[in-house]
């Protein structure tokens, strides 16, 4: 909480400074209400266990599913540096689970984008995620055989560029460095994550597509330090280090174009991630990570109705799944495979310049 206050204080200072010299100020507000069928990514075995209440200490939730409210506010300041456009964005996002408040979370962000020409721009960003609740697990650092909240916070720093090769094709790349900090019972899951991402964004008239590839390396905290701190043999400490390849495809095109710029559009997204774990332990002591591979799939389809230049109404559906394989296949099936779906509505309010309101 102290970190949130500090970030808000810095953001307030920068916002005050930018508002004095900005040529325009913009505001985006997104509100969504949706249903999540599996908020903890539980496997079928875990869902049955929860519903039968055979192990009630393991779950700190009221239901497997939940309705959710999400609010996102983005404040943009536009200015000029050496006659080139400069944008500063401040982002706040909150998500509330109506049946399970333990999953509520927020994040804060700042992003700066500098145009060097109409075709080339580069950007930098910082995001802080306050408290991400995953589930409840037993910790190896305490003798009590009880379940503890497994949650973490993270800082994400990034930078990249975008370049218009031709009017119908944009290319881009970025790099992000992420630091995850788990609570006191699971410090051995602290890790650093580096992601290298590249994309192509071709457009054909009213048709817009994007192809994106990302390579991610996740390095777990030094297990020797954990071993010394808690007097636990190194081989008994889980090693969640892994690498992954992620492929994304986007497609967006209009279905109906009405008068006065109103239109109905449909968009589709497909994401595939192949994750490889390389635990230094063995199957007996680290069965959930040793030799494990994950194949994750996500499908997202959405209808966008543009009512006015500043107001968009969305309806969406998403299906998400993970299939894992490992030498300890039975255990992995019980704890890592999952399927879930989401559906809901979203309202987007885009005020390009707050100056126009006064």
Contact of 108 with 127, CB cutoff 8 Å: yes
**pLDDT (mean) for 228-247:** 90
Contact call for residues 216 and 248 (beta carbons, < 8 A)? no
Radius of gyration of the chain (CA): 23
Percent of the chain with pLDDT over 90: 66
Q: What is the largest CA-CA distance in the chain?
A: 71
Q: Could you give the 3-state DSSP secondary structure of residue 356?
A: helix
Predicted confidence at residue 343, as pLDDT, reads: 98
Q: Quick one: which of 124, 161, 15, 29 has its CA closest to 77?
A: 15
The pLDDT, as a whole number, for residue 82 is 84
Q: What is the mean pLDDT of the chain?
A: 89
Q: Quick check: 301 pLDDT over 70?
A: yes
Q: What is the pTM of this model?
A: 0.90
Q: What are phi and psi of 208, to 5 degrees?
A: -130, 135
pLDDT per residue over 254-266, tens digit each? Answer: 888 777 668 899 9
- Is residue 206 very low, low, confident or very high in pLDDT (cuts 50, 70, 90)? confident
How many domains are there within the chain? 1
Decide if pLDDT at 357 tops 50. no
At residue 25, the pLDDT reads 84
Whole-number pLDDT of residue 6: 66
Q: Looking at residue 354, what is its pLDDT?
A: 47
Measured in degrees and rounded to the nearest 5, phi and psi for residue 196 equal -115, 120
Query: How close are the terminal C-alpha atoms of the chain, in Å?
Result: 35
Determine the structural domain holding residue 229 and report its residue range: 2-357
What pLDDT, on a 0 to 100 scale, did the predictor assign at position 14?
A: 66
CATH code of 161's domain: 2.40.160.40
Q: What is the pLDDT of residues 92-105, one digit of tens each?
A: 999 999 999 999 99
């Amino acid at each position: 909480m102290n970190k949130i206050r500090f970030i808000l204080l810095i953001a307030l200072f920068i916002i005050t400074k930018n508002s004095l010299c900005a040529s325009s100020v913009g505001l985006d507000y997104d509100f969504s209400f949706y249903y999540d069928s599996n908020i903890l990514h539980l496997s079928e075995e875990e869902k049955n266990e929860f519903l039968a209440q055979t192990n009630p200490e393991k779950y700190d939730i009221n239901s497997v599913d939940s309705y959710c409210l999400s609010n996102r506010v983005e404040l943009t300041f536009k200015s000029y540096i050496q006659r080139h456009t400069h944008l500063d964005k401040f982002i706040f996002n909150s998500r509330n689970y109506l049946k399970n408040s333990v999953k509520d979370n927020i994040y804060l962000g700042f992003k700066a984008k500098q145009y060097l020409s109409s075709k080339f721009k580069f950007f930098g960003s910082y995001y802080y995620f306050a408290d991400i609740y995953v589930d409840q697990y037993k910790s190896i650092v305490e003798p009590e055989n009880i379940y503890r909240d497994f949650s973490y916070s993270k800082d994400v720093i990034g930078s990249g560029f975008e370049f218009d090769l031709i009017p119908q094709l944009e290319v881009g790349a970025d790099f992000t460095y992420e630091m995850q900090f788990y609570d006191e019972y699971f410090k051995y899951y602290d890790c650093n994550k580096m992601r290298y991402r590249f994309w192509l964004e071709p457009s054909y008239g009213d048709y817009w597509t994007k192809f994106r590839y990302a390579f991610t390396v996740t390095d777990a905290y030094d297990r020797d330090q954990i071993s010394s701190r808690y007097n636990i043999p190194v081989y008994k400490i889980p090693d969640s280090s892994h690498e992954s390849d992620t492929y994304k495809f986007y497609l967006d095109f209009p279905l109906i174009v009405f008068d006065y710029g109103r239109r109905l559009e449909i968009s589709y997204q497909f994401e595939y991630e192949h994750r490889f774990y390389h635990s230094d332990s063995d199957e007996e002591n680290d069965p959930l990570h040793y030799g494990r591979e994950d194949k994750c799939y996500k499908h997202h389809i959405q209808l966008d109705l543009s009512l006015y230049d500043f107001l968009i109404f969305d309806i969406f559906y998403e299906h998400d799944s993970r299939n894992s394989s490992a030498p300890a296949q039975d255990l992995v099936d019980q704890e890592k495979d999952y399927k879930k779906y989401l559906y809901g509505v979203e309202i987007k309010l885009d005020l390009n310049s707050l100056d126009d309101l006064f």
